[in-house]
Amino acid sequence: MTRYEKGANFERELVNKFYEHGWTAMRAAGSGSIVAPDVIGMKNGKIVVIECKATKKDRLSLKDAILNMKRISEISGARAYISVKFHKEKPRFFDIEKLLLKKNFTISLNDVYLSFEALVGEQRTL
């Protein structure tokens, strides 16, 4: 399976998970070639935009992705997140605003994160 296929499958999994939780969602076409989120989720006026990353490493430096998502959030008014799927782990969600406040552009396996349920408001944060 290619890197593109792995990433696309991860994005499709998130879209399906949004639908399972009563949201509408979509993958953004061309998100790899333009400044656009990978996934957009919407419910009751709440909009979230997500940049997806999958890795076998235990940390990722994501400065460009974080700054691009900040720009998207400013333009759209949506809440922006980076979702990282570490090897053999469930997707983890990181709020762009919190990353920017900490001036932290590296996300690691040990960082505090939101679960999908916390992201959609069905569970308290960790």
Mean pLDDT over residues 87-100, rounded? Answer: 93
* Residue 113, in any domain of the structure: yes
Total domains present in the chain = 1
CATH number at residue 81: 3.40.1350.10
- For the cut 50, the answer to whether the pLDDT of residue 22 exceeds it is yes
* Residue 89, in any domain of the structure: yes
* Residue 86, in any domain of the structure: yes
Query: Contacts by 59-65 with C-beta closer than 8 Å and gap 24+?
Result: 59/106, 59/107, 59/108, 59/109, 60/84, 60/106, 60/107, 60/108, 61/105, 61/106, 62/105, 62/106, 62/107, 63/105
* Residue 107, in any domain of the structure: yes
* Residue 78, in any domain of the structure: yes
* Residue 125, in any domain of the structure: no
Query: Contact 90/115 with Cβ under 8 angstroms?
Result: yes
pLDDT at 121: 87
pTM for the whole structure: 0.89
Mean pLDDT over residues 10-24, rounded? Answer: 95
Mean pLDDT over residues 75-89, rounded? Answer: 93
Domain that holds residue 13: 3-119
* Residue 14, in any domain of the structure: yes
